[in-house]
Amino acid sequence: MKVYFLTRSSRPAIQDGQMKTVLLCLEPPGTKKTLDQLVKECLSRNYAMTFKQVHEGEDLLKFTADSILYHLDRMGSLIGTDEGT
């Protein structure tokens, strides 16, 4: 299963919002989390409140996962991946 982690302890200054929430869920650097773990943790931090439309149930989980993947991709070299077992 693929896991995500921060590759360094310094991070760029970013505004409050979805990307910052994803970063906070990956701290401290080196902490490895699956996409499912990130979805649960981000939602526990009111991530869904930033969406323009209300999503519920499976739609909420899929929409949140897609949003997190978008932000992980935008963070580039700040994010590492590993194929965990």
Q: How far apart (Å, rounded) are the C-alpha atoms in residues 66 and 46? A: 16
Residue 85 has pLDDT above 90, yes or no: no
Give residue-wise pLDDT tens across range 29-80. 889 999 999 999 999 999 988 888 888 889 899 999 999 999 999 999 999 9
pLDDT of residue 68: 96
Q: Which H helix or E strand runs over 3? A: strand 2-6
The residue type found at 75 is M
The residue type found at 64 is T
**Helix, strand, or coil here: 34?**
strand
HSE-CB at 47 with a 13 A cutoff on CA atoms is 26
Q: Which two tokens stand for residue 44?
A: 């526990």
HSE-CB at 15 with a 13 A cutoff on CA atoms is 2
Residue with structure tokens 């990956």?
26
pTM, rounded to two decimals:
0.88
Give residue-wise pLDDT tens across range 6-20. 998 887 888 889 999
